[in-house]
Structure 1
Amino acid sequence: MTWWDRVLRWEESHRFAVDVTGTLFLLLVGVTASVDIEATSNGRTLATVVTSFLLIAPLAWRRVRPTASAVVVYSVALVQMFLVTPLLVPADLAVLVALYSVTVHGPRWAHRVAILGALLGGLLLPAVLGGLWDPLSAIATVFFIWAVALAVWSFGLVRRSRRETLEALVDRAERLERERDQQAQIATAAERARIAREMHDIVAHSLTVMIAQADGGRYAADADPAAATRALGTIGETGRAALTDMRRLLGVLRAGPPATGGVPVVADPAAPGQAGRAPG
């Protein structure tokens, strides 16, 4: 992972803190510039300060609460247009930021309503400015605002599509990882069940042979001592073979799962420290 990827991951996990910092910087620049422009036009600096602050401040929640942030920004911009000043001030750029944010991070209906609101605002602005008396200026203003709004909206749609694709890939990777772990657990359980069946078969078969040889040797001890000796030898061989097989199976059970989370590895029964030790 590169340093840029780490920066992006940190920024994604600290959205609100990053947005608050950016909003404070925009407040410092935007409110000051808006007041300077408005002071040179009609001197209504107090109303401009309030509306500029209310336009920029909701951007602190532009990714945490994108819909609510856009609603507040659009509402304040509408109030400013009709009640404070119809002139465009630097703080009005918050409308474009809100449009972009709700397009990338908000629900689909929210960004569709937002672009319609921006287009409607582009129609209302020439009327409020009195530009309808100059049709060419009004048309130019409308098309300029529409072009900027559509460009911001289109860029937001591209970023939204990329974000949704990445989220889908991450979700698919997480589901595949869970399925892999589940398959590994199922395979481990099946292997342990097979080992248990083998151990049962080994113990049952060996004990059956040993019991039969012991009974035969006990009955043949007086009449045929050699047969009794052979029975004892068979019992010993059967017991050693059963002990070896059980040690092999217990080695499988004692061995931890491999790093990939797969089926436990079968331990070598001839490994040092294994031979000659009874299973625990």
Structure 2
Amino acid sequence: MSTTSALPRQPRRLGPRGAAWFDRGLALGLTGLSVLSGVAAGSLAWIGLGLLQCAPLWWRRRFPVAVYAAVAAASALQVLVLDMPVFSQLAYPVAVYSVARYTSTVPGALALVVGLVAAATAAVDWTSPYVPPNDHPLQQVVSYATTIGVIVLAAWALGTLGRTRAAYVDALRTHAEQVAREAEQRAELAASDERARIAREMHDVVAHGLSVMVVQADGARYAAAKDPDVATTALGAIAATGRESLGEMRRLLGLLRSEETGTRPQPGLDDLAGLLEQARADGLPLTVRLPDPLPAVPTGTGLVVYRVLQEALTNVRRHAGPVRDVEVVVDAEPGGLVVRVTDDGRGAAAGSSGSSGSSGAGGSGRAGGGLGLVGMRERVRAAGGTLATGPRGGGGFEVVARVPV
């Protein structure tokens, strides 16, 4: 998933180049009109003030405080030079807007306060030529000051609103980017978990298939000299097991390559009978007790029970040595299933060659370089259950898994 495609459309704004050209046009336009008005009035003061007040707007986005200071200083100079409003004073509210828009709250507030004081000062300056010195035209001064103050206040309010809106939009965009990144990370973690699950499935398939083939090959080798028919049957079982294991491994590798779900259903409780029949055909002396009928359980629970039983039987073939009886029990208890696989083989004496992993509660596991017990424990733990493995007191080995439903 692309982060850019997941984000909401950003409000239309001028780009850096467009903003620069806008500021240049604004500065040149106001300066040009101020100079023309000064030429029309025949006043060099108007022309000079037009240049001093309007030209700094060229840099109003890059240096808003400095531009405001320059415009405010030129406006203060106007009080000393002229006693009437001029066209170039339009630069002052633009400068106030720029400070409020492109800086923080404090510079904007200071510009507003200075602007309101300047409004009162300008009102007194502009009305004084028309009123005798001893009169106090408070009403006229207040009217002028209010008008100018409203213009300054509006410029400050628009700038502040623009700044807060831009900050809000940026915060929304940052949040959307964060949400998109988190979604991508969750998807990657889910894919990683799925690959790990497929890798465990592949380990179970390969280990089971190879153990069956080794047992059949040993039997065929011993029987070849005495009974060729038995050897032929064993070789056929080896070939069938190899083809089935290769097909299953190709399917799992295809999942890893395509990152799609397989079309073949995962094994469950209904497949236990076939697994046990195959174990009997491989020569394991099984005593089996399954619930009749098999309980209806979720697909994930059935898969965990199947894989635990498959791995336990594989460990018996590989590590138990000669066995007289292997007992397989699946019991349905309130709230879950219990899987118990016990054998009367070498038990703890197989510690140097068995699958790796600790026992969990109840004993020490068969240690070694494999991943059988570790894989079983991970599966059962992921399903919320418990696994206990270890040697039996009277000899042999036991695997007990409790899987909640």
The TM-score with structure 2 as length reference comes to 0.56
In the alignment, which residue of structure 2 is the partner of 1:56? 54
2:129 matched to 1:126?
no
1:31–1:190 distance in 2 versus 1, CA, 3 Å: farther
Matching residue's letter, 1:265 = E
Matched, 1:265 2:268: no
Per the alignment, do residues 206 and 30 of structure 1 end up closer, same or farther by CA in structure 2, a change over 3 Å counting? farther
Q: Residue 216 of structure 1: CA displacement?
A: 1.5
CA deviation digits over 1:48-85, x for unaligned, max 9? 32331221122222233323322222222222323x32
Choose the corresponding residue for 2:143, options 140, 144, 163.
Answer: 140
The SS at the match of 1:115 is helix
In structure 2, what is the Cα distance between the partners aligned to 1:219 and 1:142?
Answer: 114
- Aligned counterparts, 1:145-164, within 5 A: 145-164=148-167
Question: Which of 49, 73, 76 is equivalent to 1:75?
Answer: 73
Letter of the structure 2 residue corresponding to residue 163 of structure 1:
A
Percent of residue pairs bearing the same amino acid type = 36
Aligned counterpart, 1:166: 169
Paired residue for 1:189? 192
Kept in 1: contact 2:100–2:159 (CA 8 A)? yes
After superposition, the Cα gap between the structure-2 partners of 1:186 and 1:98, relative to the gap in structure 1 and judged at 3 Å, is same
Deviation, structure 1 residue 207: 1.4
Query: What is the rounded CA distance, in whole Å, between the counterparts of 1:233 and 1:206 in structure 2?
Result: 14
Task: Kindly indicate whether structure 1 or structure 2 has the higher relative contact order, using CA contacts under 8 Å at least 6 residues apart.
Answer: 1
Q: Distance in 2 between matches of 1:64 and 1:224?
A: 96
Letter in 1 for 2:58: A
1:112 aligns with 2:101: no
CA distance in 2, matches of 1:49, 1:157: 32
Q: Secondary structure at the match of 1:237?
A: helix
- Cα deviations across residues 150-175 of structure 1 (Å, max 9, x unaligned)? 22222333333332222222121111
Corresponding position: 1:28 with 2:32: yes
Q: Is the 8 A contact 1:195 1:249 kept in 2?
A: yes
Q: Unpaired runs of 5+ in structure 1?
A: 256-263, 270-280
Q: Which has the higher helix share?
A: 1
Conserved? CA contact 1:73–1:95, under 8 Å: yes
Distance 1:54 1:248, change over 3 A: farther
Separation in 2, partners of 1:187, 1:204: 26
Question: Corresponding residue for 1:204?
Answer: 207
Structure 2, unmatched stretches of 5+, are: 1-8, 129-134, 265-405
1:227 corresponds to which of 223, 227, 230: 230
Q: Name the CA distance, whole Å, in 2 between partners of 1:71 and 1:265.
A: 65
SS state of the match for residue 93, structure 1?
A: helix
Q: Secondary structure at the match of 2:15?
A: helix
> What is aligned with 1:97?
94
Distance of 1:218 and 1:6 partners within structure 2: 74
Q: Is the CA contact (8 Å cut-off) linking 1:16 and 1:64 kept in structure 2?
A: no
Q: Is the CA contact 1:63–1:101 (under 8 Å) kept in the aligned structure 2?
A: yes
Q: Distance in 2 between matches of 1:6 and 1:189?
A: 33
Measured in 1, the distance between the counterparts of 2:107 and 2:88 equals 22
Shift of 1:254: 1.8
User: Are 2:21 and 1:17 aligned?
Assistant: yes
Report if aligned partners of 2:127, 2:140 keep a CA contact under 8 Å in 1.
no
Inter-partner Cα distance in structure 2 for 1:81 and 1:54: 14
Highest Rg: 1 or 2? 2
Q: Does structure 2 conserve the Cα–Cα contact (< 8 Å) formed by 1:248 and 1:266?
A: no
Q: Which residue number in structure 2 is paired with residue 85 of structure 1?
A: 82
When the two structures are aligned, how many residues end up with a matched partner? 249
**C-alpha distance 54-8 of structure 1, shift in aligned 2 (>3 A):** farther
- In the alignment, the residues of structure 1 paired with residue 108 and residue 171 of structure 2 have an alpha-carbon distance, to the nearest angstrom, of 21
Does the C-alpha gap of structure 1 residues 68 and 194 become closer, same or farther in structure 2, counting only changes over 3 Å?
Answer: farther
CA contact (8 A) 1:77 1:92 kept: yes
Deviation at 1:137, TM superposition (A): 2.0
Instruction: Decide whether the 8 Å contact of 1:34 with 1:91 is kept in 2.
Output: no
Secondary structure at the aligned position of 2:195 is classed as helix
- Cα pair distance change 1:86/1:202, threshold 3 Å: farther
1:223 deviates by 2.4
Q: 1:89 Cα shift?
A: 1.0
* Partner secondary structure for residue 260 of structure 2: coil
